[in-house]
Amino acid sequence: MADFICNANIVSGAVLRVRAGRAECAIGALRFGLPCADGRSGEARFALRPEAIRLGPASAASPMVAEVKRAVYLGREVHYTLATPLGELFAVSHDLSTVYPQGSSAELGLHEYGVALIGVPARQAALAEARGAYA
């Protein structure tokens, strides 16, 4: 299930491992890396800026496919509402060479910018435990 903070999509995923300040992460079948100072792995929440979502031609080899529920052309960009295995996502594309119409399928990927790790439950539990020790 996806939630929203302002225009960011909030999705669940996992930090698979952390090495040398870089986290190997997964959201569904998507794999990507992020800078990470904390060495904890486990379930996590990520904020995806609408511009961080990349659309491409869908194929049998696509790790994740989205159905375009809505596409609105706004001059310099296209705003998409996407039905995905993660829930409904809001995306913005500045690539006007390929516009995906309502009802079409597109491969969903992530650009290397606009993705943030916003919560690892193990880290949140440790913080709550630490707060309790000083209460």
pLDDT (0 to 100) of residue 1: 47
Q: Would you list the DSSP string of the chain?
A: --EEETTEEEEEEEEEEEETTEEEEEETTEEEEEE-SS---EEEEEEE-GGGEEEEE--TT-S-EEEEEEEEE-SS-EEEEEEETTEEEEEEE---SS-PPTT-EEEEEE-SSSEEEEE-HHHHHHHHHHHHHT-
- Give domain limits for the chain: 3-133
pLDDT (0 to 100) of residue 77: 97
pLDDT (0 to 100) of residue 64: 96
pLDDT (0 to 100) of residue 115: 94
Average pLDDT of each block of 10 consecutive residues along the chain (135 residues)?
Answer: 67 93 93 83 93 95 96 96 96 95 96 87 54 55
pLDDT (0 to 100) of residue 39: 72
